[in-house]
């Protein structure tokens, strides 16, 4: 499941056999074993209800595991209250105190920990300088923009030098441009300070941009945990392939496997050659995954015979500035997507019969979960 999992002695956090149920019947988290490495930026990624936020809340101490243990360093924190876990937390709604000034908000974690006033004042000043908001120290949250408030929430989570910082959809309320700016800002702070971050999001683009590793959740189970590039290029099953980036799916049955490649008979007719990433032997069902940017469109019979080639009908062309998205009806998939470079769609028209072509190494035969 993991690309290069390291020994637990180098892990800051360990989930060991953790389960969580709210009603005694349905498991929201199903037997989670997960190591979080010291200093890494780990993102828990998945759709709503997949269990990622529940895992974060158990780590924060706001939820208690039904079964299993959570370790911070070498000690179990299952029964440790949230304020004694040495964990910083950043929420989507900022959770700032409206009646306190910005510097009072940032100082709050220090005051509850009994840090002397002189030291607290210095650390708050450093934290506000770090997020470039020294000039708003005496203002109140309601006088700041959403992006500024989120930076204050980040400073408050970092000011007491926690062992771990948890972020629950922290950028979800921001507009696209500000969200992208804050992604880079948070990543910069992570790299500069060497802190360990566990970040929850359902936005796969955000996860790819920020993470050292991503744990992909579905139905209470980690489907795969790995580096962003490895998840994108080598998904272990069709869920991961479809959730990380965009992917075209074609279903079929494995005919044979040779030299790491599977010959697959498509349900809608024809056959293709694909990398045998995660399939059983001949006769097994499989879902083929092909990324839209790895497919070419041709209007004739010319082309490399080593490529997989399938007939298609062009149903739409969508101009997106830096590229054009071609929508096609392919046997077995009426919503097949191809990303074309800007200007490359000349000569193509809606309703046109074309051929799509892709290399076997760009097509992955996966477990059809």
| Buried-exposed string 56-69: b where 16+ CB fall within 10 A, e elsewhere | bbbbbbebebeebe
**How do residues 118-155 score in pLDDT, each as one tens digit?**
999 999 999 998 888 999 999 999 999 888 898 899 99
Q: What is the CATH architecture assignment of 8-238? A: 3-Layer(aba) Sandwich (3.40)
List the chain domain ranges. Answer: 8-238, 246-366
pTM above 0.75, yes or no: yes
> Among 42-51, 67-76, 165-174, 204-213, which is the least confidently predicted range?
165-174
Predicted local distance difference test score (pLDDT) of residue 124:
94
Predicted local distance difference test score (pLDDT) of residue 99:
94
User: Count H helices, E strands: the chain?
Assistant: 8, 20
pLDDT more than 70, % of the chain: 96
**How do residues 35-59 score in pLDDT, each as one tens digit?**
999 999 999 999 988 999 999 999 9
- Options 2.40.50.100, 3.30.70.2190, 3.40.30.10, 3.90.1150.10; CATH for 246-366 is 2.40.50.100
Mean pLDDT for the stretch of residues 203-221: 93
Any alpha helices (H) in 311-356, and if so which ranges? none
DSSP letter string over 54-114? HHHHHHHTSS--SEEEEEETTEE-TTS-GGGS-EEEEETT----TTS-HHHHHHHHHHHTT
**How do residues 230-278 score in pLDDT, each as one tens digit?**
999 889 998 999 899 889 999 999 999 999 999 999 999 999 999 999 8
């Amino acid at each position: 499941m993991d690309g290069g999992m390291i020994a637990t002695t180098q892990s800051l956090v360990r989930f060991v056999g953790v389960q969580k149920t709210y009603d005694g019947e349905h498991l929201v988290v199903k037997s989670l074993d997960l190591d979080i490495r010291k200093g890494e930026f780990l993102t828990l990624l998945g759709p709503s209800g997949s269990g990622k936020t529940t895992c974060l809340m158990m780590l924060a101490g706001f939820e208690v595991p039904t079964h299993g243990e959570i370790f911070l360093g070498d000690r179990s924190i299952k029964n440790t209250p949230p304020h004694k876990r040495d964990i910083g937390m950043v929420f989507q709604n900022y959770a700032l105190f409206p009646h306190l000034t910005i510097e009072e908000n940032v100082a709050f974690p220090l005051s509850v920990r009994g840090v002397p006033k002189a030291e607290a004042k210095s650390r708050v000043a450093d934290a506000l300088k770090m997020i470039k908001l020294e000039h708003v120290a005496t203002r109140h949250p309601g006088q700041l923009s959403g992006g500024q408030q989120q930076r204050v929430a980040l400073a408050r989570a970092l000011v007491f030098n926690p062992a771990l910082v948890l972020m629950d959809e922290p950028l979800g309320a921001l507009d696209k441009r500000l969200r992208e700016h804050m992604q880079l800002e948070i990543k910069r702070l992570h790299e500069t300070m060497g802190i360990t971050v566990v970040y929850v999001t359902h936005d796969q683009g955000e996860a790819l941009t920020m993470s050292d590793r991503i744990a992909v959740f579905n139905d209470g189970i980690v489907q795969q945990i790995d580096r962003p590039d490895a998840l994108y290029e080598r998904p272990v099953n069709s869920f991961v392939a479809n959730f990380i980036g965009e992917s075209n799916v074609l279903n079929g049955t494995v005919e044979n496997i040779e030299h790491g490649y599977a010959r697959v008979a498509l349900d809608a007719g024809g056959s293709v050659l694909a990398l045998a990433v995660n399939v059983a032997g001949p006769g097994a069902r499989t879902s083929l995954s092909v990324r839209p940017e790895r497919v070419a469109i041709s209007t004739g019979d010319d082309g490399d015979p080593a490529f997989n080639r399938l007939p298609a009908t062009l149903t739409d062309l969508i101009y997106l500035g830096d590229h054009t998205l071609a929508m096609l009806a392919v046997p077995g998939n009426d919503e097949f997507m191809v990303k074309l470079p800007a200007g490359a769609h000349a000569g193509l028209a809606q309703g046109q019969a074309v051929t799509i072509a892709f290399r076997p190494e760009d097509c992955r035969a996966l477990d059809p979960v």
